[in-house]
Amino acid sequence: MPFFDFTVDLKLPLADERSRLGTSRPDAGAQLDAYFPLGPVNIFASVGYRYPYRSPVYE
């Protein structure tokens, strides 16, 4: 029987962009993991996407 895990994450902007410690914008992401037990072996698959805010300061 396969097992699935879905994760959503959000990074909140806590640093100041002027001091070059952060972008002052949130980042978000989502990921789906699947585990397939096959006797003594586990097969693992993962797919995800992260949407980072792009700042001209860091390019």
pLDDT score of 39: 92
Across the beta sheet with 41-51, the strand order is: 3-11, 27-38, 41-51
Work out whether the CA dihedral 59, 21, 16, 54 comes out positive or negative: positive
Give residue 7's identity as a one-letter amino acid code: T
DSSP code for 25 = S
pLDDT score of 55: 61
Cα 8–51–57 angle (5° rounding)? 135
Is the pTM higher than 0.75? The answer reads no
Structure tokens at 17: 């962009």
pLDDT score of 6: 97
Q: What is the pLDDT of residues 2-59, one digit of tens each?
A: 999 999 999 888 877 677 777 777 889 999 999 999 999 999 999 999 887 766 655 5
pLDDT score of 12: 86
